[in-house]
Amino acid sequence: MHGVRRACSASALVLLLVPLASAMPAAVRRHALRPRASARMSAAAQWLRANGYVLAGEQSAGGSGWASCSTLSVTSPEGVARRLFVKSARRSAREMFEGEALGLRVLRAARAIRVPEVIHFDDAPDGGSFLVMEHLELTGSADPAEVGRAMARLHLAEPSLAEARAGSFGFCVDNTIGGTPQPNAWQADWIEFYREQRIAHQLRLAGNDELDQLWAAVLERTDGLGALFAGMPPIRPSVLHGDLWSGNMAATPTNEPTIFDPAAYFGHHEAEWGMSWCAGLGPAFWRGYRELLPEEPGFAARRPLYELYHKLNHYNLFGGGYRADSARLMRALAAK
């Protein structure tokens, strides 16, 4: 189910394998260490047994450059047979799984779309960490209009965290997007949050003079991005999946839309669509979404800004043509 991270381009999805980590920039590579699966799975199994679960079987479910996965067949303390999904990694729970687990919980708290239940996350006794969650049977794509309505309900839901209810943007912990650290310090101003903790952060990781110069031109031409938000109503914090693409959304056997593998935080709902170039969202999806959340003034002009964050992240993770994509988006923003 969850846990396999893939690079995405306009034309293809490319499976991210462990050897690719060696080609990452040093600032990102140190966050993508290869996991030792057997020790981590054992730690998860030990926790489950200690908490009243009876284990009947375990099966590998693949992984990525920064986590390995398995499914466990168990009987719960209440006597219910079920399957659980386990992720493991060499990094600590605070570094690796805390952000994902808390992100799943705030998404689930919105009661807008199916999100796997988090059972437990913790450090393993001999180092590394694990995350245990509900296993979801996935069958492909849900009805796109219903997915759109579900995502609109998610974005319209009252935030479950007090800071976001008070109008601040960010999250209770820093997390990761793929293998890249994602800072989330609370800020009251959305433009400042996005400018500093999203784009400027990715540019520092990239360390590319051309991209730095292009971004400076964008800030100059847009009054520090403020011009892109002119005429808008006040922005309220929405809970965001944060990394929504086709690999992180699916349907259950009852055709219920579901999302997983988040890089969650509270932000402007439009920022959710920065990965739409890799999500296959068609007209039916947008009709469903706009039924509940109409398009705001200037959305088309802001879309390149929100896409830029993810293109920069892909450049930091995978290199290649994503630098050119990032440069193209900045030139477009500077021309507005």
Q: What is the pTM of this model?
A: 0.86
pLDDT given at position 17: 31
What is the pLDDT of the chain when averaged over all its residues? 88
The sign of the dihedral angle between the CA atoms of 8, 9, 14, 18 is negative
| pLDDT exceeds cutoff 60 at 11 | no
| pLDDT exceeds cutoff 90 at 19 | no
pLDDT tens-digit readout, 168-202: 999 999 999 988 999 999 999 999 999 999 999 99
Burial of 174 (0-12, 13-18, 19+ CB in 10 A): middle
| pLDDT exceeds cutoff 50 at 37 | no
**Direct distance between the N- and C-terminal alpha carbons of the chain, in angstroms, rounded to an integer:** 41
* C-alpha to C-alpha distances, 316 to 21, 210, 236, 329, nearest whole angstrom: 11, 15, 30, 16
In terms of pLDDT, which residue wins out, 5 or 272?
A: 272
- Mean pLDDT lowest among 57-66, 99-108, 282-291, 303-312: 57-66
The one catalytic residue in 126, 174, 209, 243 is 243
| pLDDT exceeds cutoff 50 at 10 | no
In terms of pLDDT, which residue wins out, 9 or 56?
A: 56
Give the contacts of 283 (CB within 8 A, at least 6 positions apart): none
* CA pair distance 119, 137, nearest whole angstrom: 17
Q: Is 243 a catalytic residue?
A: yes
Q: Residue 8 — pLDDT band, cuts 50, 70, 90? A: low
Overall average pLDDT of the 136-164 stretch? 96
Q: What DSSP letter does each residue of 198-225 carry, written as one string?
A: IIIHHHHHH--HHHHHHHHHHHHHTTTT
Domains, the chain: 6-134 (3.30.200.20), 144-334 (3.90.1200.10)
Q: Residue 67 — pLDDT band, cuts 50, 70, 90? A: confident
Q: Residue 58 — pLDDT band, cuts 50, 70, 90? A: confident
Nearest to 336 by CA among 294, 293, 288, 303: 303
| pLDDT exceeds cutoff 50 at 27 | no
* CA pair distance 29, 299, nearest whole angstrom: 34
pLDDT given at position 179: 85
Q: Residue 13 — pLDDT band, cuts 50, 70, 90? A: very low
* CA pair distance 128, 89, nearest whole angstrom: 6
User: For 259, phi and psi rounded to 5 degrees?
Assistant: -130, 155
| pLDDT exceeds cutoff 60 at 30 | no
pLDDT given at position 12: 35
pLDDT tens-digit readout, 264-281: 999 999 999 999 999 999
Give the contacts of 260 (CB within 8 A, at least 6 positions apart): 1, 2, 104, 115, 116, 136, 248, 249, 250
Q: What DSSP letter does each residue of 126-154 carry, written as one string?
A: TS-EEEEEE-----S---HHHHHHHHHHH
Overall average pLDDT of the 207-235 stretch? 97
pLDDT given at position 253: 93
